[in-house]
Amino acid sequence: MNNWLFERKSSISEGWLRRIFETYPPEAATFLSNQNDRFANPIGSAFLSAAGPILEELFGEGNPETVEGFIDEIIRIRAVQDFRPSDAVSIFFLLKLAIRDEMTKEKEGQDKIKTEDILFLESKIDKFSLAAFDIYMKCRERVWEIRFNDFIKRPFVLSEAAMCPSYLIKKGMIKDVGFDGEKGCSLS
Protein backbone atom coordinates (compact mmCIF):
# COMPACT_ATOMS: atom_id res chain seq x y z
CA MET A 1 0.00 0.00 0.00
CA ASN A 2 1.00 3.57 -0.42
CA ASN A 3 3.77 4.69 1.97
CA TRP A 4 2.32 8.20 2.13
CA LEU A 5 -0.79 6.88 3.89
CA PHE A 6 1.19 4.49 6.09
CA GLU A 7 3.32 7.39 7.31
CA ARG A 8 0.12 9.15 8.37
CA LYS A 9 -1.29 6.12 10.18
CA SER A 10 -1.29 7.92 13.53
CA SER A 11 -3.25 10.87 12.18
CA ILE A 12 -5.69 8.56 10.38
CA SER A 13 -6.15 6.56 13.58
CA GLU A 14 -6.94 9.73 15.56
CA GLY A 15 -9.47 10.85 12.95
CA TRP A 16 -11.06 7.41 12.87
CA LEU A 17 -11.37 7.21 16.67
CA ARG A 18 -12.81 10.73 16.80
CA ARG A 19 -15.48 9.74 14.29
CA ILE A 20 -16.26 6.53 16.20
CA PHE A 21 -16.60 8.39 19.49
CA GLU A 22 -18.92 10.90 17.80
CA THR A 23 -21.42 8.06 17.28
CA TYR A 24 -22.03 8.18 21.04
CA PRO A 25 -23.98 10.87 22.91
CA PRO A 26 -21.92 14.08 23.38
CA GLU A 27 -21.05 13.50 27.06
CA ALA A 28 -19.99 9.93 26.38
CA ALA A 29 -17.98 10.99 23.33
CA THR A 30 -16.07 13.54 25.40
CA PHE A 31 -15.39 10.96 28.10
CA LEU A 32 -14.30 8.28 25.62
CA SER A 33 -11.88 10.59 23.87
CA ASN A 34 -10.44 12.34 26.93
CA GLN A 35 -10.20 9.63 29.60
CA ASN A 36 -6.95 7.68 29.09
CA ASP A 37 -7.17 5.31 32.06
CA ARG A 38 -8.03 1.86 30.73
CA PHE A 39 -9.80 0.94 33.98
CA ALA A 40 -11.92 4.10 34.04
CA ASN A 41 -12.55 3.91 30.28
CA PRO A 42 -12.41 0.29 29.09
CA ILE A 43 -14.42 1.04 25.94
CA GLY A 44 -12.15 3.87 24.78
CA SER A 45 -9.13 1.80 25.69
CA ALA A 46 -10.39 -1.15 23.64
CA PHE A 47 -10.91 1.06 20.59
CA LEU A 48 -7.53 2.69 21.04
CA SER A 49 -5.67 -0.61 21.36
CA ALA A 50 -7.47 -2.15 18.36
CA ALA A 51 -7.14 0.78 15.94
CA GLY A 52 -3.38 0.50 15.44
CA PRO A 53 -3.21 -3.20 14.55
CA ILE A 54 -6.29 -2.92 12.33
CA LEU A 55 -4.70 -0.06 10.37
CA GLU A 56 -1.37 -1.92 10.16
CA GLU A 57 -3.14 -4.89 8.60
CA LEU A 58 -5.24 -2.68 6.35
CA PHE A 59 -2.16 -0.96 4.95
CA GLY A 60 -0.39 -4.33 4.72
CA GLU A 61 -1.97 -7.55 3.50
CA GLY A 62 -5.52 -6.44 4.28
CA ASN A 63 -6.68 -9.79 5.61
CA PRO A 64 -9.44 -9.29 8.22
CA GLU A 65 -8.83 -12.78 9.63
CA THR A 66 -5.39 -11.66 10.81
CA VAL A 67 -6.91 -8.99 13.06
CA GLU A 68 -10.20 -10.76 13.79
CA GLY A 69 -9.50 -10.61 17.53
CA PHE A 70 -9.20 -6.82 17.40
CA ILE A 71 -12.31 -6.48 15.24
CA ASP A 72 -14.12 -8.80 17.65
CA GLU A 73 -13.05 -6.69 20.62
CA ILE A 74 -14.62 -3.50 19.27
CA ILE A 75 -17.66 -5.04 17.60
CA ARG A 76 -18.51 -7.08 20.71
CA ILE A 77 -18.79 -3.79 22.61
CA ARG A 78 -21.08 -2.26 20.01
CA ALA A 79 -23.19 -5.43 19.77
CA VAL A 80 -24.37 -5.08 23.37
CA GLN A 81 -24.87 -1.33 23.18
CA ASP A 82 -27.94 0.40 21.82
CA PHE A 83 -26.85 0.49 18.17
CA ARG A 84 -28.68 -0.76 15.11
CA PRO A 85 -26.65 -3.41 13.24
CA SER A 86 -25.77 -0.95 10.47
CA ASP A 87 -24.56 1.62 13.01
CA ALA A 88 -22.58 -0.95 14.95
CA VAL A 89 -20.48 -2.00 11.95
CA SER A 90 -20.41 1.43 10.29
CA ILE A 91 -17.16 2.17 12.11
CA PHE A 92 -15.24 0.79 9.14
CA PHE A 93 -17.03 3.13 6.78
CA LEU A 94 -15.97 5.92 9.14
CA LEU A 95 -12.41 4.74 8.50
CA LYS A 96 -12.89 5.53 4.81
CA LEU A 97 -13.88 9.07 5.75
CA ALA A 98 -10.87 9.45 8.05
CA ILE A 99 -8.56 8.38 5.20
CA ARG A 100 -10.24 10.80 2.78
CA ASP A 101 -9.89 13.60 5.33
CA GLU A 102 -6.18 12.91 5.61
CA MET A 103 -5.77 12.89 1.84
CA THR A 104 -7.53 16.23 1.42
CA LYS A 105 -5.42 17.94 4.11
CA GLU A 106 -2.50 18.16 1.75
CA LYS A 107 -2.35 18.49 -1.99
CA GLU A 108 0.62 16.12 -1.85
CA GLY A 109 -1.70 13.34 -0.66
CA GLN A 110 -3.98 13.76 -3.63
CA ASP A 111 -1.05 13.69 -6.03
CA LYS A 112 0.79 10.71 -4.53
CA ILE A 113 -2.11 8.28 -4.35
CA LYS A 114 -3.51 6.67 -7.46
CA THR A 115 -7.21 6.09 -7.87
CA GLU A 116 -6.55 2.35 -8.18
CA ASP A 117 -4.79 2.37 -4.79
CA ILE A 118 -7.75 4.10 -3.16
CA LEU A 119 -10.23 1.68 -4.70
CA PHE A 120 -8.10 -1.26 -3.59
CA LEU A 121 -7.84 0.14 -0.06
CA GLU A 122 -11.58 0.75 0.11
CA SER A 123 -12.28 -2.81 -1.05
CA LYS A 124 -10.09 -4.01 1.85
CA ILE A 125 -12.12 -1.84 4.23
CA ASP A 126 -15.29 -3.42 2.82
CA LYS A 127 -13.88 -6.85 3.67
CA PHE A 128 -13.21 -5.67 7.21
CA SER A 129 -16.81 -4.40 7.37
CA LEU A 130 -18.16 -7.78 6.30
CA ALA A 131 -16.02 -9.53 8.92
CA ALA A 132 -17.32 -7.05 11.50
CA PHE A 133 -20.90 -7.83 10.50
CA ASP A 134 -20.30 -11.58 10.88
CA ILE A 135 -18.85 -10.99 14.34
CA TYR A 136 -21.74 -8.69 15.24
CA MET A 137 -24.28 -11.35 14.26
CA LYS A 138 -22.51 -14.03 16.31
CA CYS A 139 -22.54 -11.71 19.33
CA ARG A 140 -26.23 -10.87 18.90
CA GLU A 141 -27.09 -14.56 18.49
CA ARG A 142 -25.26 -15.27 21.73
CA VAL A 143 -27.11 -12.45 23.54
CA TRP A 144 -30.48 -13.81 22.39
CA GLU A 145 -29.45 -17.34 23.29
CA ILE A 146 -28.63 -16.18 26.82
CA ARG A 147 -31.94 -14.29 27.06
CA PHE A 148 -33.90 -17.27 25.76
CA ASN A 149 -32.22 -19.68 28.17
CA ASP A 150 -32.91 -17.30 31.03
CA PHE A 151 -36.54 -17.03 29.96
CA ILE A 152 -37.19 -20.77 29.73
CA LYS A 153 -35.56 -21.39 33.09
CA ARG A 154 -38.18 -19.26 34.81
CA PRO A 155 -40.66 -21.50 36.63
CA PHE A 156 -43.81 -19.85 35.28
CA VAL A 157 -42.85 -20.74 31.73
CA LEU A 158 -42.61 -24.47 32.39
CA SER A 159 -46.34 -25.03 32.84
CA GLU A 160 -49.57 -23.25 33.59
CA ALA A 161 -49.74 -25.05 36.92
CA ALA A 162 -46.57 -23.29 38.02
CA MET A 163 -47.97 -19.86 37.16
CA CYS A 164 -49.24 -17.49 39.78
CA PRO A 165 -53.05 -17.83 40.18
CA SER A 166 -53.56 -14.05 40.14
CA TYR A 167 -51.74 -13.88 36.80
CA LEU A 168 -53.90 -16.68 35.37
CA ILE A 169 -57.10 -14.94 36.53
CA LYS A 170 -55.96 -11.62 35.07
CA LYS A 171 -55.24 -13.26 31.70
CA GLY A 172 -58.61 -15.05 31.73
CA MET A 173 -57.03 -18.50 31.84
CA ILE A 174 -59.01 -19.41 34.95
CA LYS A 175 -62.24 -18.01 36.26
CA ASP A 176 -62.14 -18.70 39.98
CA VAL A 177 -59.88 -19.79 42.75
CA GLY A 178 -61.71 -21.85 45.31
CA PHE A 179 -60.81 -23.68 48.50
CA ASP A 180 -61.93 -27.21 49.23
CA GLY A 181 -61.14 -28.44 52.73
CA GLU A 182 -59.96 -31.87 51.53
CA LYS A 183 -58.10 -30.90 48.33
CA GLY A 184 -56.85 -27.41 49.22
CA CYS A 185 -56.96 -24.69 46.53
CA SER A 186 -58.61 -25.51 43.24
CA LEU A 187 -58.62 -23.63 39.96
CA SER A 188 -61.58 -23.61 37.61
Entry pTM: 0.75
d(CA 104, CA 106): 5
Half-sphere exposure of 66 (CA within 13 A, CB side): 13
DSSP string for residues in 14-82: HHHHHHHHTTS-HHHHHHHHH---TTT-HHHHHHHHHHHHHHHHHHTT--TTTTHHHHHHHHHHHHHSS
Q: Tens digit of pLDDT for each residue in 58-115?
A: 998 889 899 999 999 999 999 999 899 999 999 999 999 999 998 888 766 567 778 8
Radius of gyration, alpha carbons of the chain: 26
Q: What is the pLDDT of residues 14-64, one digit of tens each?
A: 999 999 999 999 999 999 999 989 999 999 999 999 999 999 999 988 898
Question: Could you give phi then psi for residue 181, rounded to 5 degrees?
Answer: -55, -35
Structural domains of the chain sorted by starting position, each given as residue range(s) with its CATH number in brackets = 3-152 (1.10.490), 156-187 (no CATH)
- Is residue 31 within 8 Å of residue 42, measured between CB atoms? no
Distance from chain centroid for Cα 19: 15
Cβ-in-10-Å burial (0-12, 13-18, 19+) of 121 comes to buried
